[in-house]
C-alpha cells in the first residue's frame, strides 16, 4: 500500500500535510467512519482523495455544488486521475454509458448530487461498482439545523445499504454541536472518528468599521494593506460598478459573477491568481474551491447573511499564515437592507403553492405528469407573465430547488450571439438594397467592437432600446440578415433551465415540504440576528464572538480586531478636544468629512458625531457642495 505522503508528493507536489489531514487519512484507511470538521482552507478534499487513490476501487463523492464538483473533476483529470461528475442535463442513454464506465473503466472518483442518487438506475449501478469509500461533502446540508439544509441529503444513507462494508467520511467547514450530532445520526455513522480543527484564525484581524462613504473606506483599506484582495458585494451589477470605481482610482481590479462566459472567467481568475490584478470584486459564490494562499484582505461591502457564510468567506484570507484582514463595512441603513433582502423576500407557503402551480402551467405540465422533464426557462418572462415580484419568485425557485421539487440550473450558456460574415464593402452594398436595416446595423457596429472578427454575445433588448425598435422586430431583422448570409446569428431567450424532479400534484407537492420551509425561515431569521449582534457588539473581541458562535470557548482576546485595537487606545479624546480640532481645521477653509477624517487623528465615528452636534447648534453649516464651514453670524 502506498504511503499517503508519497501520494501527496506525486499528485499535489507538497511535502507535508496540513494540521489533522494525515490523522483523518489514516482513520479512513483503517476503514473507520470519519467526521472531518475543517474550517475554510483546511484542505478537506485531500482527506478523501488520497485514501481513495490508495485503495482499490472507486470513491463516491456526494456534493450539492455543481461548480465545485466540476472544478475538482477537472483538477483530478489534469493530474491524470480518472474522475467524472454526473450533473443535470444528461440524457438517460448518456447516463447509462457513464455509469457503465465507472464500473468497467477504472475510474477513481464519481461525483454526484444528492438528487442524482435518488434515481433507480444510479443506485443499481453503484451497487455493481467496486466502491472503496463514500465521501459526503458539505455534510451540514443533511441537518435541518444546518446552513443550507437540503432534504435530498437525507437519502444519502441509501449508500450504506448498497455497500454496508464501505466506510464513510463526512466533511464540512462549519457546523455547530447540534448539527454535528444530526449529521452523525442521519448518515448512520458507526463509532465515528471525529476530527475538529479549531475555528481560531489568529493571523486574521476581524474588523467591523462604520462609515457612510464605503467607496472611500475601501480605497483607504486597500492602500493601507496592499496585496491580493477580494471584495464581496451583493449583486452582479454592484460587482461591475465597484470594479469600475476602483479602476478609476488606479487600483487594479476585475469582477467575477455567474453571468460571465467561461473563457472570461478563466482569464480573470488567472490574472488575479497570478497577482496581475490586485482586487477581485465578486458575489459571494466566488472563492469556493480556490486555494490562493496570499489573499491579504477580504472586504464585505454589505452585511453577510449568516456568520457561517461570513466565516468561510473571511477564511479565504491569510492561508499562508501571514497577517490578513477581514473587514465588514456598515452604515445606519445596513440592518434594514439585510432584513429586506433576506427576510421580507422569503416566500410564504401560499406563495410557494401559487408559483409552483403557475410554473407547471407555464410549461403546460398536466396533473400527475412532468417528472424528470427539462425545460429552458426565461425567468424575467415568467415573472412578467404572472406579475410576480422577482426577488420573491427567485427565492421561491431556490426553495423548490433545495427541497428537491425541481432543479434550477443557471448555466448562462444560452446567450444570443452575432458575427458579421461579409466585408465592409459588401455590407454597405447590401444596405443600398435594404436601407430600412441601416439603423439596426450601424447600432450593432457602434455597440459591439470586433463583431466582424468574432462571434459576440449581444443584448437584443439593449439594441431595441438604442434603435427605438420593438425587440421582436430586432430579432426578426437579425433573422433576415442571417437568411441573406450577412451574419451568423443564434438566438436564445433564456439563460436557465428547470428540471421537474417530481410529478405535478399542486398543493400536495408543497404541503410535503411546508414544515421544512417554515423551519428554514425561522433559522434564517436567527442567523440574521446573529450577524446583527456580531456587527453591533463593540465591547467584546470579534474573534472571540465568532469562536463562541461555533461553540469554541476562549478567554483570550485576539489583540488585533477592531474591538481590541479600540480598547488598546489609552486615552480617548473628549468631545471638547475633537470639537476644537474641527473648528480650527475649518477656520482656514471649508472641508468635507472625508478631509477632516484624513487630517485629524481621531476616530471617524467620533468626528461624524461631533459634526452632527456642531450642525445642530448652528456652529457650522453645510455648503451646496456638502462641505462643512464655520457659520458666522
β-pairing verdict for 496-500 and 374-377: antiparallel
Angle at 223 between CA 213 and CA 267, to 5 degrees: 100
Q: Tell me the sheet residues that pair with 574.
A: none
Q: Tell me: pLDDT of 632 over 90.
A: no
Burial of 306 (0-12, 13-18, 19+ CB in 10 A): buried
When comparing pLDDT for 457 and 445, which is higher?
A: 445
> Which residues have CB under 8 Å from 361's CB, separation 6+?
none
Q: Tell me the sheet residues that pair with 280.
A: 230, 254
531 lies in some domain? no
CA dihedral (21, 23, 27, 30) positive or negative = positive
Longest dimension (CA), the chain: 91
In angstroms, what is the C-alpha Rg of the chain?
Answer: 28
* CATH number of domain containing 624: 1.10.10.10
> Which residues have CB under 8 Å from 316's CB, separation 6+?
40, 41, 230, 287, 290, 292, 295, 298
530 lies in some domain? no
* CATH number of domain containing 169: 3.40.50.300
Q: Tell me the sheet residues that pair with 498.
A: 375, 408
225 lies in some domain? yes
Both 161 and 256 in one domain: the answer is no
pLDDT of 89 reads: 62
Task: Let me know: does 71 contact 119? Beta carbons within 8 Å.
Answer: no
Span of 106-115, 142-151, 160-169, 462-471 with lowest mean pLDDT:
142-151
Both 482 and 499 in one domain: the answer is no
Q: Tell me the sheet residues that pair with 111.
A: 61, 85
> Which residues have CB under 8 Å from 57's CB, separation 6+?
129, 130, 131, 132, 133
271 lies in some domain? yes
Cα–Cα distances in Å, from 537 out to 90, 149, 284, 447, 530?
A: 50, 28, 24, 50, 11
Task: Let me know: does 578 contact 613? Beta carbons within 8 Å.
Answer: no
Both 173 and 80 in one domain: the answer is yes
Q: What is the mean pLDDT of residues 354-380?
A: 91
- Summarised one tens digit per residue, pLDDT across range 288-319 is 767 789 999 999 999 999 999 899 899 999 98
Q: What's phi and psi for 132, nearest 5 deg?
A: -105, -15
- Summarised one tens digit per residue, pLDDT across range 159-171 is 999 999 999 999 9
Q: What is the mean pLDDT of residues 497-511?
A: 93
Q: What is the mean pLDDT of residues 255-282?
A: 87
Q: What are the DSSP calls for 95-155, one per residue? A: HHHHHHHHHHS--SEEEE-TTGGGSHHHHHHHHHS-EEEEEESSGGGGSTTSTT--GGGGG
Question: How many C-beta atoms lie closer than 10 Å to residue 397's C-beta?
Answer: 24
Cα 462 off chain centre by:
27
Q: What is the mean pLDDT of residues 239-264?
A: 87
Both 266 and 366 in one domain: the answer is no
Q: Tell me: pLDDT of 248 over 50.
A: yes
Both 389 and 443 in one domain: the answer is no
* CATH number of domain containing 355: 1.10.10
Closest CA to 273 of 315, 228, 311, 310: 228
Q: Which residue has the cell 484570507?
A: 317
> Rounded CA gap, 626 and 205, in Å?
34
436 lies in some domain? yes
74 lies in some domain? yes
Cα 453 off chain centre by:
34
Q: Tell me: pLDDT of 457 over 60.
A: yes
- Summarised one tens digit per residue, pLDDT across range 423-443 is 888 998 999 999 999 999 999
Both 499 and 473 in one domain: the answer is no
DSSP state at residue 487:
E
570 lies in some domain? no
Q: Tell me the sheet residues that pair with 58.
A: 131
The pLDDT-based confidence of 79 (bands split at 50, 70, 90) is very high
- Summarised one tens digit per residue, pLDDT across range 191-238 is 999 999 888 999 999 999 998 889 989 998 998 888 999 999 988 889
Q: Tell me: pLDDT of 569 over 80.
A: no
Closest CA to 558 of 336, 326, 282: 326
> Rounded CA gap, 612 and 582, in Å?
12
Q: Tell me: pLDDT of 273 over 90.
A: yes
Mean per-residue pLDDT over the chain, rounded: 89
Q: What is the mean pLDDT of residues 395-415?
A: 79
Both 586 and 484 in one domain: the answer is no
pLDDT of 494 reads: 61
Half-sphere exposure of 484 (CA within 13 A, CB side): 17
Highest averaged pLDDT of the listed ranges 24-28, 69-73, 183-187: 24-28
Angle at 595 between CA 590 and CA 601, to 5 degrees: 120
β-pairing verdict for 324-330 and 406-409: unpaired
The parent domain of residue 427 ranges over 417-490
Q: What is the mean pLDDT of residues 506-515?
A: 94
529 lies in some domain? no
Both 128 and 71 in one domain: the answer is yes
The pLDDT-based confidence of 412 (bands split at 50, 70, 90) is very low
Q: Which three cell numbers stand for residue 326?
A: 477581514
Q: What is the mean pLDDT of residues 268-280?
A: 93
β-pairing verdict for 193-196 and 295-300: unpaired
> Rounded CA gap, 237 and 241, in Å?
6
Q: Which three cell numbers stand for residue 248?
A: 478609476
Both 447 and 479 in one domain: the answer is yes
Both 422 and 471 in one domain: the answer is yes
Q: Tell me: pLDDT of 325 over 90.
A: yes
pLDDT of 606 reads: 85
Q: Strand, coil or helix: what is 76?
A: helix
Q: Tell me: pLDDT of 66 over 90.
A: no
Task: Let me know: does 47 contact 169? Beta carbons within 8 Å.
Answer: yes
How many domains is the chain built from? Answer: 5
Closest CA to 440 of 422, 420, 423, 456: 420
Both 471 and 407 in one domain: the answer is no
Q: Which three cell numbers stand for residue 321?
A: 499564515
Question: Of 168, 196, 224, which closes a domain?
Answer: 196
Q: Tell me: pLDDT of 557 over 90.
A: yes
Question: How many C-beta atoms lie closer than 10 Å to residue 314's C-beta?
Answer: 26
Both 215 and 282 in one domain: the answer is yes
CA dihedral (147, 152, 155, 160) positive or negative = negative
Amino acid at each position: 500500500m502506498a504511503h499517503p505522503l508519497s501520494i501527496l508528493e506525486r499528485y499535489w507536489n507538497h511535502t507535508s500535510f496540513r494540521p489533522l489531514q494525515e490523522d483523518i487519512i489514516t482513520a479512513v484507511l483503517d476503514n473507520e467512519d470519519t467526521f472531518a470538521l475543517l474550517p475554510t482552507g483546511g484542505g478537506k478534499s485531500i482527506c478523501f482523495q488520497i485514501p481513495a487513490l490508495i485503495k482499490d476501487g472507486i470513491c463516491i463523492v456526494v456534493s450539492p455544488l455543481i461548480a465545485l464538483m466540476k472544478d475538482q473533476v477537472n483538477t483530478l483529470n489534469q493530474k491524470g486521475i480518472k474522475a467524472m461528475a454526473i450533473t443535470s442535463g444528461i440524457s438517460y442513454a448518456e447516463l447509462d454509458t457513464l455509469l457503465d464506465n465507472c464500473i468497467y473503466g477504472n475510474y477513481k472518483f464519481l461525483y454526484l448530487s444528492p438528487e442524482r442518487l435518488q434515481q433507480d438506475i444510479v443506485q443499481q449501478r453503484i451497487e455493481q461498482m467496486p466502491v472503496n469509500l463514500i465521501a459526503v461533502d458539505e455534510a451540514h446540508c443533511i441537518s435541518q439545523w444546518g446552513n443550507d439544509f437540503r432534504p435530498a441529503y437525507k437519502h444519502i444513507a441509501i449508500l450504506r445499504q448498497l455497500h454496508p462494508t464501505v466506510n464513510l467520511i463526512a466533511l464540512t467547514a462549519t457546523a455547530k454541536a447540534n448539527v454535528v450530532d444530526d449529521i452523525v445520526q442521519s448518515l448512520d455513522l458507526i463509532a465515528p472518528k471525529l476530527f475538529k480543527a479549531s475555528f481560531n484564525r489568529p493571523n486574521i484581524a476581524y474588523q467591523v468599521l462604520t462609515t457612510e462613504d464605503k467607496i472611500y473606506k475601501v480605497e483607504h483599506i486597500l492602500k493601507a494593506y496592499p496585496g491580493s484582495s477580494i471584495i464581496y458585494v451583493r449583486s452582479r451589477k454592484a460587482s461591475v460598478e465597484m470594479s469600475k470605481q476602483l479602476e478609476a482610482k488606479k487600483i487594479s481590479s476585475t469582477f467575477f459573477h455567474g453571468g460571465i462566459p467561461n473563457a472570461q472567467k478563466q482569464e480573470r481568475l488567472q490574472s488575479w491568481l497570478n497577482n496581475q490584478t490586485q482586487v477581485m470584486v465578486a458575489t459571494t459564490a466566488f472563492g469556493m474551491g480556490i486555494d490562493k494562499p496570499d489573499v491579504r484582505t477580504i472586504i464585505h461591502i454589505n452585511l453577510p447573511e449568516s456568520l457561517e457564510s461570513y466565516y468561510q468567506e473571511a477564511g479565504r484570507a491569510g492561508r499562508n499564515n501571514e497577517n490578513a484582514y477581514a473587514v465588514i463595512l456598515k452604515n445606519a441603513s445596513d440592518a434594514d437592507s439585510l432584513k429586506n433582502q433576506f427576510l421580507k423576500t422569503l416566500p410564504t407557503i401560499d406563495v410557494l403553492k401559487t408559483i409552483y402551480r403557475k410554473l407547471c402551467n407555464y410549461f403546460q405540465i398536466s396533473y400527475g405528469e412532468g417528472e424528470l422533464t427539462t425545460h429552458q426557462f426565461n425567468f424575467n418572462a415568467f415573472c412578467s407573465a404572472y406579475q410576480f415580484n422577482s426577488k420573491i419568485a427567485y427565492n421561491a425557485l431556490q426553495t423548490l430547488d433545495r427541497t428537491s421539487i425541481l432543479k434550477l440550473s443557471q448555466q448562462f450558456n444560452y446567450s444570443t450571439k452575432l458575427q458579421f460574415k461579409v466585408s465592409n464593402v459588401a455590407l454597405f452594398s447590401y444596405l443600398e438594397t435594404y436601407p430600412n436595416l441601416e439603423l439596426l446595423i450601424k447600432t450593432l457596429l457602434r455597440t459591439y467592437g470586433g463583431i466582424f472578427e468574432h462571434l459576440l454575445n449581444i443584448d437584443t433588448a439593449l439594441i431595441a432600446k438604442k434603435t427605438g425598435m420593438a425587440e421582436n422586430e430586432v430579432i426578426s431583422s437579425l433573422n433576415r440578415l442571417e437568411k441573406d448570409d450577412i451574419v451568423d446569428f443564434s438566438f436564445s431567450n433564456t439563460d436557465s433551465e428547470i428540471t421537474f424532479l417530481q410529478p405535478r400534484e399542486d398543493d400536495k407537492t408543497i404541503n410535503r415540504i411546508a414544515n421544512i420551509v417554515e423551519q428554514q425561515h425561522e433559522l434564517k431569521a436567527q442567523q440574521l440576528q446573529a450577524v446583527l449582534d456580531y456587527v453591533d457588539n463593540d465591547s467584546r473581541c470579534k474573534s472571540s464572538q465568532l469562536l463562541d458562535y461555533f461553540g469554541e470557548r476562549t478567554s483570550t482576546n485576539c489583540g488585533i480586531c477592531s474591538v481590541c485595537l479600540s480598547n488598546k487606545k489609552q486615552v480617548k479624546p473628549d468631545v471638547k478636544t475633537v470639537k476644537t480640532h474641527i473648528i480650527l481645521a475649518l477656520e482656514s477653509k471649508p472641508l468635507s468629512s472625508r478631509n477632516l477624517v484624513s487630517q485629524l487623528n481621531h476616530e471617524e465615528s467620533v468626528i461624524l458625531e461631533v459634526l452632527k452636534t456642531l450642525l445642530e447648534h448652528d456652529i457650522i453649516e453645510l455648503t451646496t457642495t456638502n462641505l462643512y464651514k464655520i457659520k458666522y453670524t
